[in-house]
A = this chain, B = another copy of it.
Amino acid sequence: METSVKVFAPASIGNVIVGFDVLGLAVQQPGDEVIVQLNDHKEVKIIKIEGDGGRLPKDTDKNTAGIAVKSLLRKLDSKQGFDIKLYKKLPLGSGLGSSAASAVAAVVGANALLGNPFSKKELLPCLMEAEAVASGSAHGDNIAPSLLGGLVMIQNNQPIQVRRLPFPKDLWVVLVKPNVEVLTKQARMLLKEHIPLNNVVNQFSNLAGFIASLYENDLELMRDSLNDFIAEPVRAMLIPGYQSIKMAAQQMKAVGCGISGSGPTMFAFTETQFSAQKLSERFQQEFNEINISSINYITQVSEEGAMLL
């Protein structure tokens, strides 16, 4: 029996423009790596965190990885102890589901070391507990895709119930994270509590169109549908350069471009790796021009989600 596993859990794009709090997409890169080891002292400990600049708590009641693993142990009525090492590759406060990825990797690791008593989907409630602490309210649109891979639709948050949707495997994803920070809690506070009916109806058209485009593999319909009337109009103000990025994506015929989760990372889909590279360069330029550095990723959809390495 193994006593230590290393797990990768990928970043995820929350909302995917048209599905506020309902859609999330896992990408292959970047992602967090977590090492989970059995220990003998019946306690869950986070013994190391790398790549967070010292900002994440090691307290297992405050760190999402600790919360998720302790929730798993409670549900199994197990007293097993674990040592957890987090290697944060995902930038914090980026809108890429950083806190979700750590929690996913840790709980998948702990579950594996216990002999996989739970299926991946059965781990979701443990992860919801962690997410509630991280973002102030429990949403599944990052944990579910990071765990399961692909494009995931949240059918219910309480209890968490999700469903995988098809997604064109050959699309490329460009991520650009400008060096400004947006806190999920802040981004959520900006949102209005009531949405004009007109905007709701427009969003219905876009969401229905987007789901249809997935099943029909119709990139024109996808392009027409990927516009947000709910969160982006207010969250755009948190991202300097937002308009230039949107315009660049449009000029370069990206298949949709928007804010990932609560931002500031923005993303776009492209049809080829070549256009992804071109678009990535252009995005970097746009931020350079307003003296903001950025980190870019060119990637594709993660089919598998979290996995043992």
Interface residues of A, Cβ cutoff 8 Å to B: 19-23, 153-156, 163, 165, 191-197, 200-201, 203-205, 207-209, 211-212, 215, 221, 224-225, 230
A153 touches B197 (CB 8 A): no
If A193-B197, A195-B194 touch, whether A207 touches B204 (CB-CB below 8 Å) is yes
B contact residues around A204 at 8 Å (CB): 19-22, 203, 207
Contacts of A192 in B (CB 8 A): 197
Measured CA separation A163–B192 after assembly (Å): 31
Q: Out of B20, B194, B196, B225, which one reaches A201, CB within 8 Å?
A: B20
| Docked-complex contact B195 and A165, CB < 8 angstroms | no
Q: Which 4 A-B pairs have the closest CB atoms?
A: A194-B194, A215-B215, A211-B211, A22-B204
Q: Within 8 Å CB of A194, what residues of B?
A: 194-197
B193 and A22 contacting across the interface, CB-CB below 8 Å: no
Q: Which B residues touch A209, using CB under 8 A?
A: 153, 155, 163
Sample of 20 more A-B contacts, CB < 8 Å, known A197-B230, A200-B230, A207-B208: A19-B204, A20-B201, A20-B204, A21-B204, A22-B201, A22-B204, A22-B208, A153-B205, A153-B208, A154-B205, A155-B205, A155-B224, A163-B212, A163-B221, A194-B194, A195-B196, A195-B197, A203-B204, A207-B207, A212-B215
In the complex, what residues of B have CB within 8 A of residue A155's CB?
Answer: 205, 209, 224-225
Complex alpha-carbon distance, A192 and B193, angstroms: 14
Most buried by B among A191, A192, A205, A230: A205
Query: Which of chain B's residues have a CB closer than 8 A to the CB of A207?
Result: 204, 207-208, 211
Interface majority SS (helix, strand, loop, mixed), chain A: mixed
How far apart are A191's CB and chain B's nearest CB, in angstroms? 6
Residue of B nearest to A230 (CB): B200
For A211, what are the chain B residues with a Cβ–Cβ distance below 8 Å? 207-208, 211-212
Cβ of A19: which chain B residues have Cβ within 8 Å of it? 204, 208
Q: Can you list 14 pairs linking A and B with CB atoms under 8 Å apart?
A: A19-B208, A21-B201, A22-B201, A155-B205, A163-B209, A192-B197, A193-B196, A195-B196, A197-B230, A200-B200, A204-B207, A207-B211, A208-B208, A208-B211
**Smallest CB gap from A209: residue in B:** B155
Q: In the assembly, what is the distance between CA of A82 and CA of B92, in Å?
A: 69
A22 and B203 CA atoms in complex are apart in Å by 10
Chain B residues whose CB sits within 8 angstroms of the CB of A200 once the complex forms = 20, 195, 200, 203, 230
Residues of B within 8 A of A205 (CB): 22, 153-156
- List B contacts of A196 (CB < 8 A): 193-195
- CB closest chain-B residue, reference A191: B197
A142 to chain B, nearest CB (A): 15
Instruction: List, in ascending order, chain B residues with CB within 8 A of A201's CB.
Output: 20-22
